Amino acid sequence: MIKIGIYGYGNLGRGVECAIRQNEDMTLVGVFTRRAPETVHTIFPDTPVYHVDEAATMTDAIDVMILCGGSATDLPTQTPALAKLFNVVDSFDTHAKIPEHFEAVDKAARAAGTLAAISVGWDPGLFSLNRLYAAAVLPDGQDYTFWGKGVSQGHSDAIRRIEGVLDAKQYTVPIEAALDAVRSSKNPALSVREKHLRDCYVVAAEGADKARIEAEIKNMPNYFAVYDTTVTFISQEELDRDHKGIPHGGFVIRSGKTGKDGENTHIIEYSLKLDSNPEFTASVIIAYARAVARMAAEGQSGCKTVLDIPPAYLSAKSGAELRKILL
Amino acid sequence: MIKIGIYGYGNLGRGVECAIRQNEDMTLVGVFTRRAPETVHTIFPDTPVYHVDEAATMTDAIDVMILCGGSATDLPTQTPALAKLFNVVDSFDTHAKIPEHFEAVDKAARAAGTLAAISVGWDPGLFSLNRLYAAAVLPDGQDYTFWGKGVSQGHSDAIRRIEGVLDAKQYTVPIEAALDAVRSSKNPALSVREKHLRDCYVVAAEGADKARIEAEIKNMPNYFAVYDTTVTFISQEELDRDHKGIPHGGFVIRSGKTGKDGENTHIIEYSLKLDSNPEFTASVIIAYARAVARMAAEGQSGCKTVLDIPPAYLSAKSGAELRKILL
């Protein structure tokens, strides 16, 4: 049994708590929280809850610690710190800062003889893998990543900060015409506006100036101004009833040419349609936690990403079984 | 530069000859053929052609030998034999016999200290990878593989063997309603007939009994009887003009559930739409030839499949570069 710890307990931590139960070769040692443990209500009542200060005393009890904090402030310090004690997996997703995060975690893990996997999830993660495979197979080509339809927490938060807004949810929506243009191998040059639109559902305070709110949303630099944005005002009841999920997904499409004179075209398309972004991310993390446990048991150490890990390590099945049933 | 040899020169060998030119870190040493070398016309006139008997004298000149023979009779003997001399890659695709082929190649490669990758292509190959990743991430789920629209050489050959048939081309076509049922997460139980149909274009000899030919096709056990099959008689000119390509492709779709009570559903879909089946397969092989060259240079030996090979080895880019631009 692979013994798992969950470090940080929000949506992602809850997803990991559920995902572990789908994998018979894993067991959950407990959740580690900065809050008072007795105030934390886990999904399953028998899940032990510890204060983060106890983690350092439990290195022998845990094979892989899964870090479920945020990329902005938690993971840049937590992952290197925890890698000194445990094999770790995180879902660090600030793309531009991945190289420096990798270096910091790699240094800590090498010094401690532990193994770490960072930026595990679907983007970065499964989407990165698909970009890599597709580019390696079709070097004379171009790839496109689309996101959605799905909830962007950052954009939803940005709307909530506007005066007169009580609550909001923003969906990123890929534009079908752009997807079709990419699939038709036209290698289109697509502007930001042509790839995605932003669909906003807003609860306004009573008496608030809706026209002003709508204008503030649509003109917000970076977040909305460069996109076509729709704003729909609804009641809190409607928001709670119709927009309570955290769906997401997207597409990685590469089109490329082969042949003597590039006369043949090929399309590789990978897509995800996810009811729950955090639960799916948790499921990816759990598969990579298995790989980390195995590779660590073989004596490997340092930092890895999904690009470095042999696929077979993700499965509980043996190599011979995989060759027989999957290949 | 990675020095490549092509062993066997049919459609796949020609595809490899073209694909090597798209990869700046590779060079083609030559084509090895059982025919008289002077009778072989390569796509690029400067490609050297050698008799297969010369291969054994050229072990120092070649980093990876790519075997482009057929799975039925060539590869079961050629791959183990060549693995005694070279690092090798093949596209052995008789799914049921992969385990025994693996054992034979692994034994030969280990004894010789060479590295082999077998069953490289898209199915087995990229489709196998996607079945593995999706099953590891969504253990509580079900996956489906659909093929087409594409040409099945085996089914086309079976039609050509019918009396009165001069030429024929058979397309395997996935049934849209079945794809939609899978995408809607209904986990449908699909019969063979419900997943694919078979679309045949047949050139009949003058005066041949077309009704008898059509009946023989539609009632042919295994090949056609268990499918809905359409037969269209056309002229040789039409066949040559409208059906000269070797397109193929397909879909690997997994739907699975997560959450406390499996309340959330996720769909992972991977699809290929290929103008040229052999050229795309060749492109996959070339990427894995790079991985084999690198892993062999690190001292690895024995037999591998796509499931064992870390993705980053497929790319000519460094790990740091991949983390920066792709992850």
Enter the ipTM: 0.96
Share of chain B above pLDDT 90, in %: 98
Non-local (6+) Cβ contacts of A209 within 8 A are A164
Give the distance from residue A274's alpha carbon to the nearest chain B alpha carbon, in angstroms: 4
pLDDT value at position A185? 86
Residue tagged 């105030």 (tokens): A39
| Residue A23: band (very low, low, confident or very high) from pLDDT cuts 50, 70, 90 | very high
Nearest to B267 among A139, A258, A273 (CB): A273
Interface test with A, best of B23, B261, B264 (most A CBs within 10 A): B264
Amino acid letter, A96: A
For residues A184 and A307, what is the distance between their CA atoms, to the nearest angstrom? Answer: 28
pLDDT value at position A40? 97
Residue tagged 């002077």 (tokens): B38
Tell me the per-residue pLDDT of B256-284, one tens digit each, with 9 for 90 and over: 999 999 999 999 999 999 999 999 999 99
Element (H, E) at A178: helix A176-183
For residues B207 and B61, what is the distance between their CA atoms, to the nearest angstrom? Answer: 56
pLDDT value at position B110? 98
The CA distances from residue B203 to A8, B153, B157, B219, in Å, are 67, 16, 13, 18
CB burial string B241-258: b at 16+ within 10 A, e below: eebeebbbbbbbbbbbbb
Tell me the per-residue pLDDT of A37-61, one tens digit each, with 9 for 90 and over: 999 999 999 999 999 999 999 999 9
Tell me the per-residue pLDDT of B208-256, one tens digit each, with 9 for 90 and over: 999 999 999 999 998 999 999 999 999 999 999 999 999 999 999 999 9
CB contacts of A293 in chain B (<8 Å) are: none
DSSP secondary structure code for residue B322 in this structure: H
Q: Is the dihedral of CA A84, A88, A91, A95 positive or negative?
A: positive
pLDDT value at position A186? 84
Q: Is the pLDDT of residue B133 over 90?
A: yes
CB contacts of B23 in chain A (<8 Å) are: 139
Taking a C-beta distance cutoff of 8 angstroms, is the pair A19, A44 a contact?
A: no
For residues B158 and B315, what is the distance between their CA atoms, to the nearest angstrom? Answer: 39
Taking a C-beta distance cutoff of 8 angstroms, is the pair B274, B280 a contact?
A: yes
Give the distance from residue A173's alpha carbon to the nearest chain B alpha carbon, in angstroms: 17
Nearest to A98 among B279, B310, B327 (CB): B327
CB contacts of B305 in chain A (<8 Å) are: 323, 327
Q: Is the pLDDT of residue B186 over 90?
A: no
Amino acid letter, A32: F
The token duo for A238 is 């409607």
For residues B31 and B66, what is the distance between their CA atoms, to the nearest angstrom? Answer: 10
For the segment A173-195, the average pLDDT, to the nearest whole number, is 94
Bridge pairing between strands B248-258 and B141-147: antiparallel
Non-local (6+) Cβ contacts of B166 within 8 A are B203, B204, B205, B236
Q: Is the pLDDT of residue A94 over 90?
A: yes
Query: Is the CB of A22 less than 8 angstroms away from the CB of B273?
Result: no
CB contacts of B318 in chain A (<8 Å) are: none
pLDDT value at position B216? 97
Amino acid letter, A51: H
The token duo for A74 is 């938690």
pTM of the predicted protein model = 0.96
For residues B239 and A7, what is the distance between their CA atoms, to the nearest angstrom? Answer: 63
pLDDT value at position B4? 98
Q: Is the dihedral of CA A142, A118, B129, B252 positive or negative?
A: negative
Q: Is the pLDDT of residue B80 over 90?
A: yes
Amino acid letter, B224: F
